[in-house]
Amino acid sequence: MQVTEDIVRNVVSQVLSRMGKPAGTKPTAIPTTSSGVFAEVDAAVAAAVVAQREFEKRPLDDRRKAIDCVRKICKERADELGRDEFEETRIGRLAHKIEKLHIAADRIPGVEFLRTEAVSGEKGIALTEYAPFGVVGIVTPVTHSLPTLAGNAISLLASGNSFVCNPHPSGARIACKGVRLFNEAIARAIGINNLLTIIEKPTLESAQAIFDHRDVRMLCVTGGPAVGRAALRSPKRAVVAGPGNPPVVVDETADLDNAARSIIAGAAYDNNLLCIGEKEVFAVAAIFDDLLVAMARYKAVRLDAKQLEALTRVAFVPAGDDKSKLVVNKDLVGADPAVMAEKAGFRVPADTELLFAETDERSPFVDHEQMMPFVPFVRCTDVDHAIALAKKYEHGFKHTAIIHSRNIETITRMGREMDTTLFVQNGPSTAGLGSGGEGYLSFSIATPTGEGVTTPLTFTRQRRSTTVNAMRVL
């Protein structure tokens, strides 16, 4: 083996890190050539272990510096990285790919989110502090490859962890580019490389190897039902950000103009790739026609029965052994409305935001998480009927539900009934993550496992330190 300068530097940095350096000393580690991108899970985890051991000895300020590297790259290179993601995945909208990187940088909480809880009494004090787990295995979706990775990076670095990522194969190139850029910047800022590691050519086997790896202490998976189930089979603690099928209820008291604008804003965002995005609307008969008229005022195009039938035929394909099941046609996921229309054999203006139509509840667009910029509207007899259908077609994912109503009693009832992680009233779904509403952002909303909108605290172990008969200074 030829001994290169990089190998020598890496060995020196690892030996120094194992000897331990007092917190706050100037870093000595120099980046290796890998910059976090690995062919094999074992090598990625081993590098992430070494990096995390060094990181947890460092002061909080080094965590801030590492996070700042991620935020700065997301902001300053948003145009380039958003375009790369768009060109690789070919789904969604370029402007929103870019915007998601800006909002990840601006609105995902960092070290300030960690807090120490204290109890002080006659017998002394007790502190509860939030410690890192170590290496966390993460899985990211194709719908927001780099934004999810960057968001997980901010949360995990804030809490002192490192990660090994198995990205979606169709978004792996941009994910690897992000990891490389983040690691190089972090290595320059604090002298630790490989805090963020990734598998260059991810497969289901590499995901499983991460789930099974003894040095991976915790999992955070973001995606559909299959990955959630796979992570929950692992004996490790798993944070599962699973699928949704967010329903919207509109009652007779709603501000219809606001309801229409909100439904379009949420469902058209990134061509309806958001897991929180409005997927089907249940509106009461008293305002149904007026709501549809309001929709058409904001660049949403209403389809007639023939167009709806043609679109349904191309948007879903038969699956299963006997072809009796319908599944979403992946070719149309995240497609532009004009492209969807063209595939179905009709034309709409190129700047169309959203397609919509009246359907009945048996339309596959109601039942499936279609992730396309078409929203079905179902006419309901009254608000009880609308809430019952919303509950039925949310499928118990407990993810996101939206209502447009000015009736406090109805809003409260629907909130209780749906029992979802996010419940948005009188705004677009994105308000639930702080875009046009209050609150912080995450691209991993843990639904079945209950952590909600993930934060740095999600990835911590609670540790209590008790001082007996001292330190209470009152």
**What is the contact surface with ligand NAD in residues (CB under 6 A)?**
139-143, 167-169, 204, 207, 222-224, 226-227, 230, 241-244, 275, 369, 443-445, 447
Q: Which residue has the tokens 């960057």?
A: 150
Sign of CA dihedral 266, 304, 369, 363: positive
Name the minimum Å distance from CB 371 to ligand NAD.
Answer: 7
Q: Which residue has the tokens 């000015």?
A: 406
C-alpha dist (Å) from residue 171 to 66, 202, 280, 427: 24, 10, 27, 30
Name the minimum Å distance from CB 292 to ligand NAD.
Answer: 26
Q: How far apart (Å, rounded) are the C-alpha atoms in residues 338 and 442? A: 30
CB count, 10 Å around CB of 305? 10
Report the residue number, 27 or 432, with the smaller CB distance to ligand NAD: 432
Name the minimum Å distance from CB 207 to ligand NAD.
Answer: 3
Q: How far apart (Å, rounded) are the C-alpha atoms in residues 230 and 223? A: 11
Q: How far apart (Å, rounded) are the C-alpha atoms in residues 312 and 224? A: 22
Report the residue number, 87 or 384, with the smaller CB distance to ligand NAD: 87
Name the minimum Å distance from CB 166 to ligand NAD.
Answer: 6
Report the residue number, 307 or 454, with the smaller CB distance to ligand NAD: 454
Q: How far apart (Å, rounded) are the C-alpha atoms in residues 439 and 145? A: 22
Which residue is nearest to ligand NAD, using beta carbons? 223
Report the residue number, 295 or 371, with the smaller CB distance to ligand NAD: 371
Report the residue number, 172 or 403, with the smaller CB distance to ligand NAD: 172
Q: Are 207 and 240 in contact (CB under 8 A)?
A: no
Q: Are 47 and 39 in contact (CB under 8 A)?
A: no
Name the minimum Å distance from CB 296 to ligand NAD.
Answer: 28
Name the minimum Å distance from CB 204 to ligand NAD.
Answer: 5
- Half-sphere exposure of 472 toward its Cβ, with a 13 Å CA cutoff? 14
Report the residue number, 142 or 254, with the smaller CB distance to ligand NAD: 142
Name the minimum Å distance from CB 327 to ligand NAD.
Answer: 12
Report the residue number, 140 or 363, with the smaller CB distance to ligand NAD: 140
Q: Are 280 and 247 in contact (CB under 8 A)?
A: yes
411: its two tokens:
């809003």
Q: How far apart (Å, rounded) are the C-alpha atoms in residues 232 and 366? A: 27
Report the residue number, 167 or 191, with the smaller CB distance to ligand NAD: 167
Report the residue number, 95 or 204, with the smaller CB distance to ligand NAD: 204
Name the minimum Å distance from CB 241 to ligand NAD.
Answer: 3
Give the 3-state secondary structure percentages of the chain, helix then strand then coil, rounded to 5. Answer: 45, 20, 35
Name the minimum Å distance from CB 247 to ligand NAD.
Answer: 14
Q: How far apart (Å, rounded) are the C-alpha atoms in residues 448 and 272? A: 22
Report the residue number, 222 or 352, with the smaller CB distance to ligand NAD: 222
Q: What is the dihedral of CA 133, 446, 141, 216, to 10 degrees?
A: 20
Which residues, 6+ apart, have CB-to-CB distance to 286 below 8 Å? 252
Name the minimum Å distance from CB 12 to ligand NAD.
Answer: 36
Compute CA 268 distance to the chain's CA centroid, rounded to the nearest angstrom: 17
Residue 38, helix vs strand vs coil:
strand
Q: Are 149 and 178 in contact (CB under 8 A)?
A: yes
